[in-house]
């Protein structure tokens, strides 16, 4: 908040408060303006005030209307810079002209560079590029209708410091595009975790086809949200205070090495019994302690305590000192252990789980270790000693997470950016709509149409990032909201000549809804954008064109089979997995398949009259292995088998 106020104060100084000419907040020093398209510039001034804007050796006379609003459209310009823009007493410096990309969606778009750094050691820590500029729209949700202003720390040159908390996908995309083209890149990120697609749609668009959503939003008045938020905070503070007061671990030294936990029951971290009473998860606190032997060579050295992902909140201690706290389940636990804290011999790690709902848990498949260097690691045991701290009643709260409400994200975090000139949009969202996948395709079509109308660009490029694989794999056919939503994303891209799909079905993690391989995903997004720019040689994931029931003579008899034709050549494979055929009774069956040129040949198996074929139609089709020669995975799909 202080940083935002300081930024606004400096802008007012630079632009001259007396002149009362204020550009919209997105126009700041260091910005990137879109090349090869008209560039709207707008803001406010005194009603009727006339002033001059000077940019790139041209002057533009502007007059504010009766409400003090003004706008001028600069002509299309070539990439270049840096330039200076002046109007009235205001001057903005270090302006580049290049490509501007809006990266929007929910938490996988918002996932910051700091979270993925362990995946790419040495790749991000020292990189800087003054031809890539980053703008992050602060997460603010308003229920007061479309807003004209937003909060931000401003345009930042890409550096290790400025990129640390910025969208990893946007970061890697900007790096790749600038490196490949030499053209300045501006990346605007306005994402927020957990937000459903209806939160990003304007009210009039929802009202026509989904009026039930806008009716719900009308219940949340600004006064109600403010008062309920205060009430929730008071309730939460009281609940936490009561827990701390009644938890013996906070008063009997359960965090320290001197505490005797010999009477505590042993517990495997992946078992459920330590975190449950009578089959139900403990609401309150549960303690886990593990003794770790440190040899003389490692004693006194700083380390990184890695505790995978924990459900839900945790307070973690080493030898009685708290080294980290996280208040919800998703962030990976990576806690710095300072020099001198670990000593030779016995040491203790104590984890205090705090849960308001659900069952405390360690996430299987993650790393649990002490890292002294990347190559010097002490693995922790799965065995701990456990004890319930304090059991608590549920913390009653009224849901006022307004960012999830229909239209709220559009009003708060998109509308203030309109009509800033863009090269395109990258949309990574859908996890919050998998329980309502049947309506997603219509909503996504409306969303793209609204963007093109609002930004006055009927051919605005849109790349849709398809949901990655997630959750426990299954060897049997399954109905899946995730698969259904991926199909909606696929079809939405296919029906739109200005949209493309970035397939991520092999980049996910079974135990993490936030997979880390954002660099590889950015490469696929860049290819999709290149294709939309007209490069027909840019590789995209294979898509099915048609499926037909065929037959051939074998030993004097007709042997039927299904052939799926694709839009491109496929990587040879004698055995394909994750293909299924639907029989006349509506059930799907696993079948054998192989690649032949640009087709997949499917044996019918026990299915005599197939009606549909689908591929990778699961939450996590981990055996999916259909690729093109460029190494891009085929999209999951379902299509009808033609006779």
**Among 400-404, 415-419, 526-530, 631-635, the least confident range:** 400-404
What sign results for the dihedral spanned by CA atoms 409, 410, 415, 419?
positive
pLDDT at residue 15 is higher than 60: no
The answer to whether the CB of 172 falls within 8 A of the CB of 519 is yes
pLDDT at site 223: 87
- The yes/no answer on whether domain 244-391 falls in CATH 3.10.129.10 is no
Measured CA to CA, the distance from residue 322 to residue 349 in angstroms comes to 10
For the four alpha carbons of 519, 525, 531 and 536, in that order, the dihedral sign comes to positive
What is the pLDDT, as a whole number, of residue 555? 60
* Domain-wise residue ranges, the chain: 244-391, 544-640
Q: Lay out the sheet containing 39-44: strands in order across.
A: 22-23, 39-44, 69-74
pLDDT digits (tens, 9 = 90+) for 32-57: 999 999 999 999 999 999 999 999 99
In the three-class reduction of DSSP (H, G, I as helix; E, B as strand; rest coil), residue 171 is classed as helix
- What residues have CB less than 8 Å from 412, skipping those under 6 apart? 140, 141, 142, 147, 150, 403
Average pLDDT of the residues in 276-304: 97
Q: What is the pLDDT of residues 144-200, one digit of tens each?
A: 999 999 999 999 999 999 999 999 999 999 999 999 999 999 999 999 999 999 999
More confident residue, 2 or 641: 641
- Residue 554: predicted pLDDT: 62
**What is the percentage of the chain residues whose pLDDT exceeds 90?**
89
In which element (H, E) is residue 545 found? strand 544-554
- In which band, very low, low, confident or very high, does the pLDDT at 16 lie, cut at 50, 70 and 90? very low
Say which range, 65-74, 131-140, 391-400, 495-504, has the weakest mean pLDDT: 391-400
Residue 600, pLDDT > 50, answer yes
Which tens digits make up the pLDDT trace of 395-419? 887 777 899 999 999 999 999 999 9
Residues 297 and 239: their CA atoms lie apart, in Å, by 44
Query: Please, what is the average pLDDT of the chain?
Result: 95
Query: Residue 74 and residue 93: Cα distance in Å, rounded?
Result: 17
Confidence at 552, pLDDT banded by 50, 70, 90: confident
Q: Which of 413, 449, 523, 394 is nearest to 205 (CA)?
A: 449
Q: Count the alpha carbons within 13 Å of 72 in the hemisphere toward its beta carbon.
A: 19
Q: Are 330 and 509 in contact (CB under 8 A)?
A: no
Q: Which residues pair with 33 in a beta bridge?
A: 97
Answer yes or no: are the C-beta atoms of 617 and 580 closer than 8 Å.
yes
Q: Please name which of 403, 404, 414, 401 lies closest in space to residue 137, comparing C-alpha atoms.
A: 414
Residue 17 has pLDDT above 70, yes or no: no
């Amino acid at each position: 908040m202080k940083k935002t106020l300081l930024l606004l104060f400096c802008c007012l100084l630079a632009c001259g408060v007396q002149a009362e000419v204020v550009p919209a907040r997105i126009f700041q020093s260091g910005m990137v303006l879109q090349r090869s398209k008209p560039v709207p510039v707008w803001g406010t001034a005194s009603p009727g005030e006339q002033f001059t804007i000077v940019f790139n050796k041209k002057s533009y006379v502007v007059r504010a209307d009766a409400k003090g609003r003004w706008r001028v459209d600069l002509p299309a310009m070539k990439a270049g810079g840096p330039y200076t823009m002046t109007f009235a007493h205001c001057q903005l410096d270090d302006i580049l002209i290049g490509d501007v990309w809006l990266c929007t969606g929910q938490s996988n778009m918002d996932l910051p560079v700091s979270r993925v750094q362990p995946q790419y050691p040495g790749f991000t820590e020292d990189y800087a590029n003054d031809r890539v500029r980053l703008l992050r729209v602060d997460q603010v949700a308003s229920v007061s209708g479309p807003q004209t202003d937003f909060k931000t720390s401003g345009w930042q040159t890409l550096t290790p410091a400025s990129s640390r908390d910025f969208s990893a996908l946007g970061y890697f995309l900007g790096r790749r595009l600038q490196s490949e083209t030499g053209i300045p890149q501006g990346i605007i990120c306005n994402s927020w975790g957990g937000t459903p697609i209806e939160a990003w749609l304007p009210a009039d668009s929802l009202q026509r086809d989904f009026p039930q959503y806008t009716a719900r939003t009308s219940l949340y008045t600004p006064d109600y949200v403010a008062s309920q938020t205060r009430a929730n905070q008071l309730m939460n503070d009281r609940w936490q205070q009561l827990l701390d007061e009644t938890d013996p671990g906070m008063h009997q030294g359960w965090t320290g090495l001197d505490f005797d936990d010999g009477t505590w029951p042993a517990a495997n971290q992946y078992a459920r019994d330590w975190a449950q009473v009578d089959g139900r998860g403990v609401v309150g606190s549960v303690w886990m302690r593990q003794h770790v032997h440190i040899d003389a060579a490692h004693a006194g050295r700083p380390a990184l305590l890695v505790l995978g992902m924990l459900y839900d909140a945790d307070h973690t201690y080493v030898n009685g000192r708290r080294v980290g706290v996280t208040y919800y389940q998703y962030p990976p636990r990576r806690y710095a252990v300072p020099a001198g804290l670990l000593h030779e011999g016995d040491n203790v790690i104590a984890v205090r789980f705090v849960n308001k709902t659900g069952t405390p848990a360690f996430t299987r498949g993650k790393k649990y270790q002490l890292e002294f260097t990347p190559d010097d690691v002490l693995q922790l045991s799965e065995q701990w000693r456990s004890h319930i701290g304090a059991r608590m009643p549920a913390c009653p709260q009224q849901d006022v997470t307004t960012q999830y409400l229909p239209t709220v994200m559009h009003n708060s975090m998109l509308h203030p950016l309109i009509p800033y000139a863009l090269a395109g949009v990258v949309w990574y969202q859908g996890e919050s709509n998998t329980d309502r996948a049947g309506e997603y395709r219509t909503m996504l079509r409306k969303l793209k149409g609204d963007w093109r109308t609002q930004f006055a660009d009927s051919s605005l490029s849109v790349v849709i990032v398809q949901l990655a694989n997630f959750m426990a794999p299954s060897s049997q056919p399954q109905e899946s909201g995730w698969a259904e939503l991926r199909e909606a994303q696929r079809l939405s891209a296919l029906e739109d000549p200005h949209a493309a799909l970035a397939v991520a079905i092999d980049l996910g993690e079974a135990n993490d809804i936030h997979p880390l391989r954002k660099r590889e995903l950015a490469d696929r997004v860049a290819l999709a954008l290149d294709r939309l720019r007209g490069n027909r040689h840019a590789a995209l994931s294979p898509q099915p064109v048609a499926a037909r029931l065929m037959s051939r003579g074998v030993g004097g008899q007709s042997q039927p089979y299904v052939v799926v034709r694709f839009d491109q050549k496929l990587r040879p494979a004698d055995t394909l997995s994750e293909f299924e055929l639907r029989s006349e009774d509506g059930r799907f069956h696993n079948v054998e398949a192989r690649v032949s040129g640009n087709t997949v040949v499917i044996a019918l198996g026990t299915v005599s009259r197939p009606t549909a074929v689908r591929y990778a139609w699961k939450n996590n089709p981990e055996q999916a292995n259909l690729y093109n020669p460029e190494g891009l995975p085929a999209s999951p799909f379902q299509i009808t088998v033609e006779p």
